[in-house]
Chains A and B, each alone.
Chain A
Amino acid sequence: MTTLADRPLEEQIAQWRAYLRRRQAVHGPDVDELEGHLRDQLGALTDAGLAGDEAFLVAVKRMGSLDALSREFARAHSERLWKQLVIAPGADESAKTSHTETLVVLGLAVAAGLAVKVPALFGVPLDPDQELPPFYFRNASLFAFPLLAIYFVWKRRPGVAGGLWLALAFVAGAAFANVYPFHTPERLDNSPVGSDTQVLTALHLPIALWIAVGFAYVRGRWFADGGRMNFVRFSGELAIYYVLIALGGGVVTAFTFMMFSAIDMNPAWFVAGWLLPCGAAGAVIVGSWLVEAKQSVIENMAPVLTRLFTPLFTVLLLVFLVTMAWTGSPINVERQVLIGFDLLLALVVGLVLYAASARDPQAPPDFFDGLQLLLVVSALVVDGVALAAIAARISEFGFTPNRVAALGENLILLVNLAWSAWLYASFLRRRGSFAALERWQVAYLPVYSIWAALVVVVFPPVFGYR
């Protein structure tokens, strides 16, 4: 139908369509309907003797302004302003790809759930009446993370070499989690307790392996195109989705108990043996898929939480410092205090990281950046005070694996925050750019994983598997 002379007109119509398509409240079929109207109008106008582009101008003018139009559509379809996640596939994405993806994700989620049950076939059962065998703690990340990596490999196809590196990382993780002869001291009632190094392995292996997932996420190109920051965003959103799914799982569990207890049956074996462990593994895959599907649809939650909690934590830290200075009461150095301050620093690093993830690096410094600097500096001071208190008694404690791990983490986070504070300060004095801070944060990411890998690989033999 399109002759050469019509070409500019067709292009104009296509452009008008594209503008309309960008309006959230106007959906695809509506655009078709409005385009049909525009073409009818154009036909009538050209029959009346107008030239193509004149007719186009008149027809578009009569259609009304796009703003007013989309406002009216929004009033007629108010639900469209609430972006629907799972139901509507993306406009550019063909329905078929998203259908295949759904199947792949469901398959991987089921596989992750079943992977939890595989060890039971080899004599390590999950029994609700007994305490969980340490095997499951050590290997927790190995049930879901490899399958998550497979999802990203399937989705992004990083190539054979990339896939092999990933496989190597997970095999190494599995090996170090299981070949070491950890001591298993027993409690008075003969139930096994994890030794310190074993607990450390269980805690650090997920951190070490998460970077392998990240490697799959960025398609094997760790340094390209802001992929690392995207992975940070992905991780934050996944954490939030995982918590939401876990809350839903809690409701399912509660109803399972309520209903089966009503008919005098005890569903504990099912809940503890199947529902919780399989659900926990499968939810990692499903949550990741949701984050992938919605990244362009819904505002990221992690930066929103960061904005909410940065002022709160800044006030908390300042009040704490003032109170301590006022009353002069020293930090009560107990067993857990170092870990507690580690967590505090990790949280502050998280706030800095997610504030950076949502910030336009080109924007000039604003009030929030000043607040971030205040937060970082006060966290550094608080941690400095705590470290001084701990250092005074470190010889008394001796070096246990837990303490060395906690000290190492404290040091790593301290270095990150100290340099972040410097970068923030130079940014606020307009001597540096915000991009430098962002670069520093993403460049630092592997440090966490490398340290975690060190704890997994080196600590058990060094500390005699205690």
Chain B
Amino acid sequence: MDMSKDLVAASATPLVLAILAEGDSYGYAIIRRVADLSGGHLQWTDGMLYPVLHRLERQSHVVAKWSESENGRKRKYYRITKEGRAQLAAQQRQWQVVDSTMRGIWLRAVSV
């Protein structure tokens, strides 16, 4: 399924925050998790994740730390902060409003 660019962009921040709320992670693993969760329907261009992560880091929603990965390479791990969790909660509420509104109108549209 081809997702619209705007929708992918808008969902990126809450998705990344939600994945990091499960536990610390790094870029490649986040991409894999998104693919798993969406059953392969949400495909990001891999590189685009990093500007999102860096923006979140700048807004203090996540903190980053370089440490060694299991295969001996340096890897940048991200951890969600308290502000990040607050942001995630706020975004969740917004998406829920969007989601319930859509459900309402779609039920009617189908019944028409």
Contact residue among A29, A63, A75 (Cβ-Cβ distance under 8 Å from B45): A63
Mask: chain A, 68-88; 1 = CB below 8 Å from B; 0 = not: 110011011100000000000
Instruction: Tell whether, in the assembled complex, residue B73 and residue A33 are in contact, meaning their CB atoms are under 8 Å apart.
Output: no
Cβ-based interface call for A10 (8 A): no
Cβ-based interface call for A36 (8 A): yes
Cβ-based interface call for B74 (8 A): yes
Smallest CB separation, B57 vs chain A (Å)? 9
Instruction: Tell whether, in the assembled complex, residue B45 and residue A76 are in contact, meaning their CB atoms are under 8 Å apart.
Output: no
Contact residue among B28, B31, B51, B76 (Cβ-Cβ distance under 8 Å from A73): B51
* Given A33-B50, A76-B54, A76-B58, A64 contacting B45 (CB threshold 8 A): yes
Mask: chain B, 3-40; 1 = CB below 8 Å from A; 0 = not: 00000000000000000000000111001000000000
B residues in contact with A73, CB < 8 Å: 50-51, 54
Instruction: Tell whether, in the assembled complex, residue A69 and residue B48 are in contact, meaning their CB atoms are under 8 Å apart.
Output: yes
Cβ-based interface call for A40 (8 A): yes
Interface residues of A in 77-116 (CB under 8 A from B): 77
Whole-angstrom distance between the alpha carbons of A43 and B69 in the complex? 14
Smallest CB separation, A1 vs chain B (Å)? 8
Cβ-based interface call for A41 (8 A): yes
Contact residue among A36, A41, A72 (Cβ-Cβ distance under 8 Å from B51): A72
Cβ-based interface call for B41 (8 A): no
A residues in contact with B46, CB < 8 Å: 37, 41, 62-64
Whole-angstrom distance between the alpha carbons of A37 and B55 in the complex? 18
Instruction: Tell whether, in the assembled complex, residue B50 and residue A36 are in contact, meaning their CB atoms are under 8 Å apart.
Output: no
* Given A62-B45, A63-B46, A64-B46, A33 contacting B76 (CB threshold 8 A): yes
Whole-angstrom distance between the alpha carbons of A73 and B53 in the complex? 10
Whole-angstrom distance between the alpha carbons of A41 and B50 in the complex? 15
B residues in contact with A30, CB < 8 Å: 50, 54
Whole-angstrom distance between the alpha carbons of A205 and B50 in the complex? 58
Whole-angstrom distance between the alpha carbons of A30 and B27 in the complex? 11
Cβ-based interface call for A305 (8 A): no
Residue of B nearest to A20 (CB): B47
B residues in contact with A72, CB < 8 Å: 47-48, 51
Cβ-based interface call for B85 (8 A): no
Residue of B nearest to A75 (CB): B51
Chain A: number of interface residues, binned into ranges: 20 to 34
Residue of A nearest to B75 (CB): A36
A residues in contact with B58, CB < 8 Å: 76
A residues in contact with B69, CB < 8 Å: 36
Residue of B nearest to A36 (CB): B75
Cβ-based interface call for A39 (8 A): yes
Whole-angstrom distance between the alpha carbons of A29 and B31 in the complex? 19
Whole-angstrom distance between the alpha carbons of A36 and B26 in the complex? 10
Instruction: Tell whether, in the assembled complex, residue B51 and residue A76 are in contact, meaning their CB atoms are under 8 Å apart.
Output: yes
Instruction: Tell whether, in the assembled complex, residue A37 and residue B28 are in contact, meaning their CB atoms are under 8 Å apart.
Output: yes
Residue of A nearest to B45 (CB): A64
Instruction: Tell whether, in the assembled complex, residue A36 and residue B48 are in contact, meaning their CB atoms are under 8 Å apart.
Output: no
* Given A72-B51, A73-B51, A36 contacting B74 (CB threshold 8 A): yes
Mask: chain B, 50-80; 1 = CB below 8 Å from A; 0 = not: 1110110010000000100101011110000
Instruction: Tell whether, in the assembled complex, residue A32 and residue B74 are in contact, meaning their CB atoms are under 8 Å apart.
Output: yes
Smallest CB separation, A393 vs chain B (Å)? 71
Whole-angstrom distance between the alpha carbons of A64 and B47 in the complex? 6
A residues in contact with B50, CB < 8 Å: 30, 33-34, 37, 73
Q: Show the binding face of A for B, using Cβ within 8 Å.
A: 29-30, 32-34, 36-37, 39-41, 43, 62-64, 68-69, 72-73, 75-77
Q: A32-B76, A64-B45 are in contact. List 11 more A-B contacts (CB 8 A).
A: A29-B76, A33-B76, A34-B47, A37-B31, A37-B47, A63-B46, A63-B47, A64-B47, A76-B52, A76-B55, A76-B58
| In the A-B complex, the 4 residue pairs with the closest CB atoms | A64-B45, A40-B28, A76-B51, A72-B51
